[in-house]
Amino acid sequence: MHTQVEAEHTGSNEKASEQDVDNTADERVGLNIGQWCVVKYDGEVGLYPGKVKEIGDQGDFRVSVMHRAGQNWKWPNPKDDSTFYLKQQIVCSIEEPMIANNRGHFKFTHHF
């Protein structure tokens, strides 16, 4: 799926053509589909790690987030518990997690 965005790299107000822009990556936030990030969920205290599943036409991101399991993280049940987040809710990008144990728990090198 393609979308139109402003040509930000030149600082102009020119519009990029639909053929030039692919929504599998968003250069404004620096995230690609399949990349890991930390999000802040509205109304909740805390930050959650997740994987970008889709980049929306409105500059939002569908992210499947993990839940805390002690000092580690795990996927919720059902696993595809994804939600759209605004780019302002994306805190940072992070590295893919490492397996912490054989119970489906993961750990991150980035502390949040």
Q: Where are the domains of the chain?
A: 24-107
H or E segment to which residue 52 belongs: strand 47-55
User: What is the average pLDDT value for the chain, to the nearest integer?
Assistant: 77
Residue 94 · residue 74 · CB < 8 Å? no
Model confidence at 16: pLDDT above 80 = no
DSSP 54-72: EE-TTSEEEEEE-EEETTE
Model confidence at 8: pLDDT above 60 = no
pLDDT band at 14 (very low <50, low <70, confident <90, very high): very low
Does this model's pTM top 0.75?
A: no
The three-class DSSP label of residue 89 is: helix
Would you state the pLDDT for residue 105?
A: 95
Residues 21, 94: Cα–Cα separation, whole Å: 24
**From 2-6, 71-75, 86-90, the region with the lowest mean pLDDT:** 2-6
Give a three-class secondary structure readout of 27-44. Answer: CCCCEECCCEEEEECCCC
Residues 112, 105: Cα–Cα separation, whole Å: 17
Residue 38 · residue 65 · CB < 8 Å? no
| Fold (topology level) of 24-107 | SH3 type barrels. (2.30.30)
pLDDT in tens, 41-66: 876 778 999 999 999 988 899 999 99
